[in-house]
Chain A
Amino acid sequence: MNLNPLRLSPQTLRRSRPWAVLLSLAAAFVTWELVSRFSGLPAFILPAPEQVAVRFWRALRQDNLLLHTAVTLSEILLGLLSGTLTAVGLGYAVAKSRLFERLAAPYLVASQAIPVVAIAPLLVIWFGPGMFSKVLICALIVFFPVLVNTVVGLRAVPRALHDLMRSLRARRGQIIRLLEVPAALPVLLGGLRIGATLSVIGAVVGELVGADRGLGFLINTARGLYDTALVFVAVFTLIALALALYALVAGLEKKFLSWQESHE
């Protein structure tokens, strides 16, 4: 499962020049403007950039855009948090105990085999159209990649460092805090980066299936009213959320993994 075939790591992004990013954004907007102006497509198919901008300000005042954004963001963050905590906890048990691994493996593999997107309607039926069902969907979708990365990260802790800690009579908690967590952190944060992206998808899918607020709900409503400019507003807001989360994980990596950075 390669979710990042272009290897778009934070390092790649940091290396790209700001002017190059601005230039490519400007080119996209100009193209969009030209197409919307000269193609003759009506605004409910393709609104022009300035129409979307105007709609954005109106959405802020009239359509509770901030509330919907806050709802979706909360679902994403709560889902990410609970999914990550569960996955790290179970991952620790799997990495440490062969017995537990054998007992849990069938369920873990099954949890991966079920497409969460397909059971989203079921979860909404069971847990209602409120935030809880979306948090659950996010948590489920985040769970597996984080669990796998936790196990891989913990298994990769060199035996020699375990020997060192034991020869110094380190206690269990000290081994976790001073050896296992830092050693597994690079791989764990890699899992979190995948998880953060996935949880945005999870929240929106859940909201599209059935919700009374959130950006997915807003998209559904706007689509029904042929208010395509509002769909654009919601989509751009989602993109901003996803980028912010990505930046958050990248920030964590920068803070905790500076020892890995090359000195070129």
Chain B
Amino acid sequence: MVPPILTVRELSVTFPDSNGGLDALGSASFEIYPQEFVCLLGPSGSGKSTLLRVLAGLLQPTGGEVVFAGGQPKIGMVFQQANLMPWRTALENITLPLELENVPPAERRARAQALIELVGLSGFEQAWPRDLSGGMAQRVAIARALIHDPDLLLLDEPFGSLDALTRERMWEELSRIWQARQKTVLMVTHSIGESLFLADRVLVLSQRPGRVKFEMKVDLPRPRADEMRYTPHFSKLAKRLKEAIE
């Protein structure tokens, strides 16, 4: 079997506070394999965002270790809010990671063009973020996270702020993008349906301090369609996850 691309061992994070520190993560351990789509479920406040921040290098853990096969990986990150720079057009927001790597402008635009079609933003290249709907803005954020060809995609409830219809359309698009681009993805969500629609494997975090208390393979066939949600197998998996969370 292929070795994991990411190994997390007994990771803990304690935030300093007035009464002796707040344990956000307590000894979380898991692995992620190349090109796997993993969803992380857990009650709110269980340290999911904290975990992603550690993996993205934004936060030093208090204990434990994070090992990436092949050294520091390139990260693509999507947050709950699109976090676009309002002074850049959609296209300029998408090409930001390439600008940071000093890729020449012509190549930046060429690489953005393919992605813009993939995420369904054609015609919106020159739009300002203030003129984009929530769903459109989040597509820009996804394209921005993919453009520099990252080794690991970290998604923190990326569809949490969208309405239900847009969200479900985004699931289909994300599956399609993931299959087209062959990325390794770790996605935080608190929707069981979302994790079953997207993931190869689901990790469930406990109440704070979070640790991985349950893990489940999602053996639903791909491509996954809407009707799949009414099958007995889907219901069985959903029930198991629900019990694990409670």
Is A105 close to B, CB under 8 A?
no
Q: Which of B57, B100, B128, B154 is the one whose CB lies under 8 Å from A174?
A: B100
Is B77 close to A, CB under 8 A?
yes
Is A166 close to B, CB under 8 A?
yes
A60–B76 CA distance with the chains assembled, in angstroms = 64
Is A14 close to B, CB under 8 A?
no
Mask for B139-175, Cβ within 8 A of A = 1, else 0?
0000000001000001000000000000000000000
Is A170 close to B, CB under 8 A?
yes
User: Quick check: B100 and A170 within 8 Å, CB to CB?
Assistant: yes
User: Quick check: A259 and B81 within 8 Å, CB to CB?
Assistant: no
User: Quick check: B56 and A167 within 8 Å, CB to CB?
Assistant: yes
A125–B28 CA distance with the chains assembled, in angstroms = 70
Mask for A138-168, Cβ within 8 A of B = 1, else 0?
0000000000000000000010110111111
A135–B157 CA distance with the chains assembled, in angstroms = 54
Is A178 close to B, CB under 8 A?
yes
Task: With a 10 A CB-CB cut-off, give which of A165, A166, A183, A263 has the most chain B CB atoms.
Answer: A166
Is B30 close to A, CB under 8 A?
no
A160-B79, A178-B96, A259-B128 as given contacts; A167 in contact with B57, CB under 8 Å: yes
User: Quick check: A167 and B75 within 8 Å, CB to CB?
Assistant: yes
Is B97 close to A, CB under 8 A?
yes
Q: List, in ascending order, chain A residues with CB within 8 A of B79's CB.
A: 160, 163-164
Is B87 close to A, CB under 8 A?
yes
A170–B85 CA distance with the chains assembled, in angstroms = 15
Within 8 A of A (CB), among B93-115: 96-97, 99-100
Is A102 close to B, CB under 8 A?
no
Is B223 close to A, CB under 8 A?
no
Q: Classify chain A: how many residues form its interface, as a range.
A: 20 to 34
User: Quick check: A167 and B128 within 8 Å, CB to CB?
Assistant: no
A161–B83 CA distance with the chains assembled, in angstroms = 6
Q: List, in ascending order, chain A residues with CB within 8 A of B148's CB.
A: 168
Q: Which of A158, A164, A166, A259 is the one whose CB lies under 8 Å from B87?
A: A259
User: Quick check: A160 and B75 within 8 Å, CB to CB?
Assistant: no
Is B31 close to A, CB under 8 A?
no
Is A169 close to B, CB under 8 A?
yes
A142–B238 CA distance with the chains assembled, in angstroms = 64
Mask for B53-91, Cβ within 8 A of A = 1, else 0?
100111000000000000000010101010101111000
Task: With a 10 A CB-CB cut-off, give which of B57, B87, B96, B128 has the most chain A CB atoms.
Answer: B87
Is B117 close to A, CB under 8 A?
no
A160-B83, A259-B86 as given contacts; A168 in contact with B96, CB under 8 Å: yes
Q: Which residue of A lies closest to B89 (CB)?
A: A259
Q: Classify chain B: how many residues form its interface, as a range.
A: 20 to 34
Dominant SS among interface residues on chain A: helix
Q: Which residue of B lies closest to A262 (CB)?
A: B130
User: Quick check: B100 and A163 within 8 Å, CB to CB?
Assistant: no
Q: Which residue of B lies closest to A181 (CB)?
A: B87
Is A129 close to B, CB under 8 A?
no
Is B131 close to A, CB under 8 A?
yes
Q: List, in ascending order, chain A residues with CB within 8 A of B88's CB.
A: 259
A64–B97 CA distance with the chains assembled, in angstroms = 56
User: Quick check: A166 and B58 within 8 Å, CB to CB?
Assistant: yes
Q: List, in ascending order, chain A residues with CB within 8 A of B83's CB.
A: 158, 160-161, 163-164
Cross-chain pairs A/B with CB under 8 angstroms, 28 sampled? A160-B83, A161-B83, A161-B85, A163-B58, A163-B83, A164-B77, A164-B79, A164-B83, A165-B100, A166-B56, A166-B57, A167-B56, A167-B77, A168-B96, A169-B57, A170-B100, A171-B100, A174-B100, A178-B99, A178-B100, A179-B85, A182-B85, A183-B87, A257-B87, A259-B86, A259-B87, A259-B128, A259-B130
Q: A167-B154, A174-B100, A178-B100 are in contact. List 6 more A-B contacts (CB 8 A).
A: A160-B81, A163-B56, A163-B77, A166-B57, A178-B85, A259-B86
Residues of chain B touching chain A, judged by Cβ–Cβ distance below 8 Å, are: 53, 56-58, 75, 77, 79, 81, 83, 85-88, 96-97, 99-100, 128, 130-131, 148, 154
Residues of chain A touching chain B, judged by Cβ–Cβ distance below 8 Å, are: 158, 160-161, 163-171, 174, 178-179, 182-183, 185, 257, 259-260, 263
